[in-house]
A and B are shown apart, each in its own frame.
Chain A
Amino acid sequence: MRHIISIALMLSLIWLVNSGHYNPLQLSLGAISVFFVVWLAHRMDVVDHESQPIHLSKQLPIYYLWLIKKIVISNIDVARLVWQPKTSMTPHFQRLLISQKTDMGRVIYANSINLTPGTLSVDLKDDYVLVHSLTTDGMEELLQGEMAQRVKELE
């Protein structure tokens, strides 16, 4: 039930923001569309803790703040590599074991690896993620596992 309320609120917000017309006719058409989509999603059985991760809403903002900091730092690193006259790349390609138990944790981890330029998750399996990194530093930072630990705490 909480998940259904959450998806209805989310859809209504998206409709209100994108519409910009607030007369009774269009508002009721919007409400009908939201109900229809919620009903469809419920019928497709996709309204659950995976599509509506409200159990994460408390810890997620803190993680995002930390991730934004990482994204900015790694962007500067890669931009510096681009502008260096002699390319000093040290690409690495290896498997990292995953400690996350849930699918959600694994996906958040792989997405975080991709959001920071300089590291790219190429393949994701149950127990490992295949990572390509632009520099040795990038791979070592992942191996130290601060990101993995923070994602694990989210689960």
Chain B
Amino acid sequence: MSLVVDILSAICLLTGSFLILSGVIGVIRFPDFYTRIHAAGITETLAASLILIGLMLIAGWGLVLFKLILILLFILFTSPTASHALGKAAWKSGLKPHGLVNKHDED
């Protein structure tokens, strides 16, 4: 039983790490600010959740489990707000998105 949990936890941690790597590479590769926020979004949603779930699986029943759940909840509540604040600040200060497909957008 504990072997199964260990393997599941390892899968979660490895997938999470891979997604964080993807997010970082995306931040470097993507062309402009707004597209880079999308890449950073991978690390803060699914990657963070998978790593925390992997840690919950090895933590077992106890206080640590609930603390990890709290961390996950706080990340999921705050990260969309943070990326909205970033995007809004960039938009309000006049940064235009690059390479748009639709040309009929606002100014």
Contacts and interface: CB of A to CB of B under 8 A. Distances in A.
Contacts of B79: 114-115
Interface in B25-81: 25-26, 29-31, 34-35, 37-39, 41-42, 45-47, 63, 66-67, 70, 76, 79-81
Contacts, number: 120
A78 interface: yes
A98 interface: no
A72 B76 CA distance: 14
A134 B38 contact: yes
B63 A20 contact: yes
Nearest to A82: B26
A62 B38 CA distance: 25
Contacts of A18: 67, 70
Contact of A117 (B45, B90, B100, B106): B45
Contacts of B30: 82, 87, 89
Contacts of B39: 78, 82, 117
Given A87-B30, A136-B101, A120 B66 contact: no
B17 interface: no
13 contacts: A17-B66, A79-B42, A87-B29, A91-B101, A93-B102, A110-B84, A111-B80, A111-B81, A114-B81, A114-B84, A116-B45, A121-B84, A122-B87
Interface of A: 14, 17-18, 20, 71-72, 75, 78-79, 81-83, 87, 89-95, 110-112, 114-124, 130, 132, 134, 136
